[in-house]
A and B are shown apart, each in its own frame.
Chain A
């Protein structure tokens, strides 16, 4: 019964929270409308995600999000120093990161995380060979960067989505 009513519980919850946040949770009426929408909308959009991944480890996902926030702070500082320092001393490089995950959605999450942490921008995901192409602003040692992305980001993402 619950499954039929809420085919995507996580999507419904995030829609409701987003609605509450956008309206600053102003009144009971607006919250009720938000609840109605978050029950109806998943039915309308579910054809877009025929086989969506589910978060298997919610606590790990939260810890991962906190770590990304912290990494964004640190990396911002590191990149800021490089931007005002001597530009000629940078080692910009294209780096190919071979992936162990085999799911387009998980790859998108990984690509977004890589782009959000300053210093690296994800450029392409090769879905034939499962390679994530990354451009790094300063990577004197590309292998170290590959190891870091795989250990720090790919491994937890694989655990969270169990893929």
Chain B
């Protein structure tokens, strides 16, 4: 494998891992339900995005043919993540903000 591509794949995996970690740190540190909701959106967008790109790049360069289904994974995540965040937030609103502070 080309060293430049190897470097790029490693950098993307590290970047993805870093943002997945930061999302979890946010989940643990932030004070209430609504602020905690922001943590996982980061983990899905940049965290999983960078890791899927790394995977696509790695398998495209090491195996014959293109490996593109990672792009589909990314697309589905980008479509579903806002919906789940939206439903969580709505449910929390209906239960009342006092409950949500716990």
| Partner-B contacts on A (CB < 8 A) | 18, 20-26, 72-73, 76, 79-80, 83-84, 87, 90, 92, 94, 111-112, 114-116, 118-119, 121-124, 135, 137
Tell me whether A121 and B90 are in contact in the complex, defined as CB-CB below 8 angstroms, given that A21-B69, A72-B46 are known contacts: no
Can you report 26 residue pairs joining A to B where beta carbons are below 8 Å apart? A20-B68, A22-B72, A23-B69, A24-B65, A24-B68, A25-B68, A76-B19, A76-B45, A76-B46, A83-B25, A83-B30, A84-B22, A92-B34, A94-B34, A111-B82, A112-B82, A116-B82, A121-B82, A121-B85, A123-B86, A124-B90, A135-B34, A135-B89, A137-B30, A137-B35, A137-B38
Residues of B within 8 A of A (CB-CB), count: 36
Contacting A at CB under 8 A, from B11-52, are: 19, 22, 25-26, 29-32, 34-35, 37-39, 41-42, 45-46, 49
Binding site for A on B (CB under 8 A): 19, 22, 25-26, 29-32, 34-35, 37-39, 41-42, 45-46, 49, 65-69, 71-72, 75, 78-79, 81-83, 85-86, 89-90, 93
- The distance from the CB of A58 to the nearest CB of chain B, in whole angstroms, is 18
Q: With A80-B42, A84-B22 in contact, is A22–B69 under 8 Å at CB?
A: yes
Report the minimum CB–CB distance from B28 to chain A (whole Å).
Answer: 10
